Structures are given as C-alpha cells and as structure tokens.
C-alpha cells in the first residue's frame, strides 16, 4: 500500500473525521473507501456503452 500526503481544508478534515468516528473506523480507512468509491463511479461513467448501460468490464480492477 502506498502512503500519500493530502492537504484538506479544515472544514473538510473535520467532516471526514466526524464521519470516520460515526462509522467506527480510522480516518485513513474512511478516506481510502471514499476515494475508492469515487474511482468506481468514474470508472462506471467512463465505461458506459452508447445504450447508457455499463460495459461488462466496468467493475473490474485494472
């Protein structure tokens, strides 16, 4: 696993910490899951077919 430094505005940091506590997880885990969720959403949007439905490989890791 790679370590990254991310700068967050104070209000976003506080909100993320609150949400992590509410869910009973570390801030690092919460941030990983939040980023992963966004990446999956982008992947689905990027891999949509002309018919508007996701392609077969949209959910596969690269």
Instruction: Assess contact for 47 and 55: CB atoms under 8 A.
Output: yes
Distance of alpha carbon 54 from its chain centroid, rounded? 19
Enter the tokens of residue 25: 């997880």
- Which tens digit of pLDDT belongs to each residue from 32-47? 999 999 999 988 888 7
Residue of 44, 24, 26, 25 whose CA lies nearest to 36: 44
Determine what percent of the chain is predicted with pLDDT higher than 70.
77
pLDDT at 59: 54
Report the pLDDT value the prediction gives residue 44, as an integer from 0 to 100.
Answer: 85
Q: What is the mean pLDDT of the chain?
A: 85
- CB-neighbour burial class of residue 58 (10 A; exposed 0-12, middle 13-18, buried 19+): middle
pLDDT in tens, 15-30: 999 999 999 999 999 9
The span from the CA of 25 to the CA of 7, in Å, is: 20
């Amino acid at each position: 696993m790679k370590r990254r430094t991310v700068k967050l505005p104070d209000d976003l940091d506080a909100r993320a910490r609150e949400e992590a506590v509410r869910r009973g997880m570390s801030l690092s885990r919460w941030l990983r899951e939040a980023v992963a969720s966004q990446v999956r959403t982008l992947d689905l949007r990027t891999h949509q077919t002309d018919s508007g439905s996701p392609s077969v490989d949209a959910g596969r890791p690269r």
